[in-house]
Structure 1
């Protein structure tokens, strides 16, 4: 039985009044801050700064476990990718070790043959490294000027290469500069080897960006992507320098793109191949003398 004068809802009513009062207070405070902000007062920004400083430790406290959780989820999500990448790297590592062993074996065999034949090393000395200072060209010639000349040891007909392969040969020299005839010039003829077959041919310039593979023996199978290198015949270019790659094969014509970057070339190396050829003569005499002494 409820006593007279008692109000069971009195507590709830008082709580509701407090909530309404708090809401009205916040609304009033927001209006005051808006008025101050509109008037240009610094009070709102100062209060925001203080509020940020107050809640910063709380944000840091909760940010650390959230960040740790995110990192853990990323690790779990990337575990499969890492496993696949690891397996791929293991496979590549095995293949590289196999190639390294094969290369070391070939190097040892090559050194043994050189010692048996008394043949000197075939590393071609560099006459000069030069900057390209001018590119010429037209309907009848393709060449460029380099900043190295006679004083630097540059001579006529010396091979000129970049990091990717043969660029051309020295056409003329002055004291400080030299003009290089590009392999794409119509006057350029270079003895070459078709690498996959070992067939001897001639690379002819066409006065455009391509070369033609001429005088190729009948029956040689040529495919797009085949590499063509210098043969060493003629005494101007060392053997096995990359020259061009086959880009088109038709019934009567094989076209190639030079490996050298003619459009982006900044520096080239001039090779002193003649000095290497001249070094071979005394070696032959020495071998003959040793045979006679034996």
Structure 2
């Protein structure tokens, strides 16, 4: 009986050793396989990344470009908005500049008018032009002074450039001026250098004036200056009228010194007694 138990114990011990060995081998194999799986998995990931990278780039390239294009469009839109703002600011600045220049020119013209001085006439009043016809051939203008300033019929009207016309109608606070460009305007004049007497008249449909000489023994040349002669007791002598501009078919045409499109301030004058 003891002998039998001893054999059984010995056999059991051998069996246990065998299983332990098997378990050890299996554990070793599991560790090895796990490490191998990690290596293989890493390799697979690397290879997959290498393969997938150009594919992903190819697939995402249009999307990236679209995003970039949208960003560029937004940037261009912002630039356009800023550009419009700058244009508006420049427009406002130009308006202020134009207004400033206009005020400066008005002030300069006003000062020049106040400084007009000649021994042959005296200034009755300085006036502002308040009404002009809408084209350059307008032959009548309206002033902001009348009987309230003792203005008289046929008083001469001029500015810093020269003769403009004469008063033909007077109201209480306004007066009307017939311009020298009107066909009904006839003014005794002379050449400044040679004292050749003539009559100058308007044409109504042209800014140029026509000269008709009283004596034709001496004739002026292009470029000679025409001034009032003082005859007929309408205008004082030596007021600048214009310059001989051209000669066609023995007709002399004079270009006035006054720019009738830019009339602002004028002087109403009378001959000194």
- TM norm structure 1: 0.50
Matched, 1:134 2:124: no
Deviates more, 1:121-130 or 1:158-167: 121-130
Provide the residue aligned with 2:190 in structure 1.
193
Separation of aligned partners in 2, 1:256 and 1:139: 16
Query: 1:153 corresponds to which residue?
Result: 150
For 2:170 and 2:220, how far apart are their aligned partners in 1? Answer: 38
Pick from 199, 203, 207 the counterpart of residue 206 of structure 1: 203
Aligned length: 155
The 2-side partners of 1:165 and 1:153 are apart by: 22
Query: SS state of the match for residue 263, structure 1?
Result: helix
Whether the 8 Å CA contact 1:201–1:216 is kept in 2: the answer is: yes
> Is the alpha carbon distance of 1:197 and 1:137 closer, same or farther for their aligned partners in structure 2, counting shifts above 3 Å?
farther
**Which residue is equivalent to 1:289?**
none
The gaps in structure 2 that reach 5 residues or longer are 1-117
* Separation (CA, whole Å) in 2 of partners of 1:224 and 1:185: 23
Query: What SS does the corresponding residue of 2:148 show, helix, strand or coil?
Result: helix
Q: Give me the whole-angstrom Cα distance separating, in 1, the residues matched to 2:177 and 2:252.
A: 25
Alignment partner of 1:242 is 2:240 = yes
C-alpha separation between the residues in 1 aligned to 2:146 and 2:156?
14
Gap regions ≥5 residues in structure 1: 1-120, 278-294
- TM-superposed CA distance for 1:217, in Å, is 2.2
Conserved 8 A contact 2:226-2:240 = yes
Query: 1:196 Cα deviation (Å)?
Result: 2.4
* Mapped contact 1:222–1:249 kept (Cα < 8 A): no
After superposition, residues 156-235 of structure 1 pair within 5 angstroms as: 156-207=153-204, 208-235=206-233
Structure with greater Cα Rg = 2
Corresponding position of 1:76: none
Q: Deviation string for 1:72-125 (max 9, x for gaps)? A: xxxxxxxxxxxxxxxxxxxxxxxxxxxxxxxxxxxxxxxxxxxxxxxxx93422
Q: Distance in 1 between matches of 2:183 and 2:135?
A: 11
| 1:220 Cα deviation after fit | 2.0
Aligned to 2:29: none
From 246, 249, 252, the counterpart of 2:250: 252
Q: How does 1:2-151 map to 2 (within 5 A)?
A: 122-136=119-133, 142-151=139-148
Q: Please, what is the CA RMSD of the aligned residues?
A: 2.0
Which residue of 1 is the match for residue 81 of structure 2? Answer: none
1:37-92: CA deviation from partner (whole Å, max 9, x where unpaired): xxxxxxxxxxxxxxxxxxxxxxxxxxxxxxxxxxxxxxxxxxxxxxxxxxxxxxxx
The TM-score normalised by the length of structure 2 is 0.54
Q: Is the 8 Å Cα contact of residues 196 and 219 (structure 2) preserved in structure 1? A: no
Runs of 4+ in 1 over 3 A off after TM superposition: 137-141
Distance 1:136 1:151 in 2: 24
Contact 2:137 2:181 in 1 (8 A): no
Q: Is the 8 A contact 2:120 2:237 kept in 1?
A: no
